Chains A and B, each alone.
Chain A
Amino acid sequence: NAGVTQTPKFRILKIGQSMTLQCTQDMNHNYMYWYRQDPGMGLKLIYYSVGAGITDKGEVPNGYNVSRSTTEDFPLRLELAAPSQTSVYFCASSTPLGGPGELFFGEGSRLTVL
C-alpha cells in the first residue's frame, strides 16, 4: 500500500541550481497535482494533470515545469532555483467521480534554496 511516494524528502539547493522532485502513485489515479505549502499560507496549486500527456497550470506555476508521460509518474522540475521557492512540496492524486474526489497526498519534499 505505497499510495503516493515522493522523493527526495529533503533537499538543499543553491540559487540557480536545478532539480526534479519525483512523484509516483500506484492507485491508477488519473488526476495528479503538485502543491506548495508555505508557513501560514495553506496549499497552493502549482500544476496538475488529468491524465498521461495532459498538464495544466495552477495558481503559482512560474519557475516550475511538469510532465506526465505515464499514469503513475508526475515529476516537478525546478529551473534556476530561487529563495522564494523554499517551501514544502506535496504531490497528490485523485479519481474524481462527479466531484473533486479524495486527494491522496505524499509525505512531502522539504526544499531549501540558499
Chain B
Amino acid sequence: TQLLEQSPQFLSIQEGENLTVYCNSSSVFSSLQWYRQEPGEGPVLLVTVVTGGEVKKLKRLTFQFGDARKDSSLHITAAQPGDTGLYLCAGGRGSEKLVFGKGTKLTVNP
C-alpha cells in the first residue's frame, strides 16, 4: 500500500505569516497533485507536479516536487484568511487511481 504522510496535521497561524506543509512517502510517484478543500465543498485541484525537482508557483503558493519524486512541499507566503482550508496531496503512477494523504488543516486568523 502506498502511503502519503502529510505534516503538520493542523496549523493555525496569523494573517501575514509564512508557512510550509509537507507530503512524504516511501514510494516513488510519477506525479503529485495538491488539492484545497473548503468546508462543505469538494476538493479543488491547485497544481500537478510531474518532474523530480520541479517547482511551480501559483501567486503566493509555491509547490516543489522532491528530486526522488517521493515527497513534496507547499509553501504559502503572507498567508491570508482566504487560504484557510484542508490541503490534500495525492500521488499517482501513470493512469492508476490516486492515493490521498490525510491532509493538513490550515487556519489563518485575521
| A interface with B by C-beta (< 8 Å) | 4, 33, 35, 40-45, 48, 58, 90, 92, 96, 98-103, 105-108
Query: Which residues of the partner chain B approach A48 to less than 8 Å between Cβ atoms?
Result: 97
Given A43-B43, A100-B31, A103-B45, 10 more A-B residue pairs with CB atoms under 8 Å apart are A42-B102, A43-B100, A99-B95, A102-B45, A103-B43, A103-B90, A105-B44, A107-B40, A108-B40, A108-B41
Assembled-state Cα–Cα distance A41/B95 (Å)? 24
Given contacts A90-B42, A107-B42, A108-B40, is CB(A102)–CB(B48) below 8 Å? yes
* Chain B: CB-nearest residue to A33: B97
**Could you write out 13 A-B pairs with CB less than 8 Å apart?**
A40-B102, A41-B102, A42-B100, A42-B101, A42-B102, A90-B43, A100-B96, A100-B97, A100-B98, A101-B95, A105-B42, A105-B43, A108-B41
Q: How many residues on B have C-beta within 8 angstroms of the other chain's C-beta atoms?
A: 25
Chain A residue nearest in CB terms to B103: A42
- Residue B76 at the A interface, CB < 8 A? no
Most buried by B among A4, A103, A108: A103
Chain B residues with Cβ under 8 A from A92's Cβ? 42
Interface positions of B (Cβ within 8 A of A): 9, 30-31, 33, 35, 40-45, 48, 50, 88, 90, 92, 94-98, 100-103
Q: From DSSP, what is the main secondary structure of chain B's interface residues?
A: loop
Q: How far is the CB of B40 from chain A (nearest CB, A)?
A: 7
Given A99-B50, A99-B95, A105-B42, A43:B30 Cβ within 8 A: no
Enumerate chain B residues within 8 angstroms of A100, measured Cβ to Cβ. Answer: 31, 33, 90, 92, 94-98
Across the interface, name the chain B residue whose C-beta is closest to A9: B40
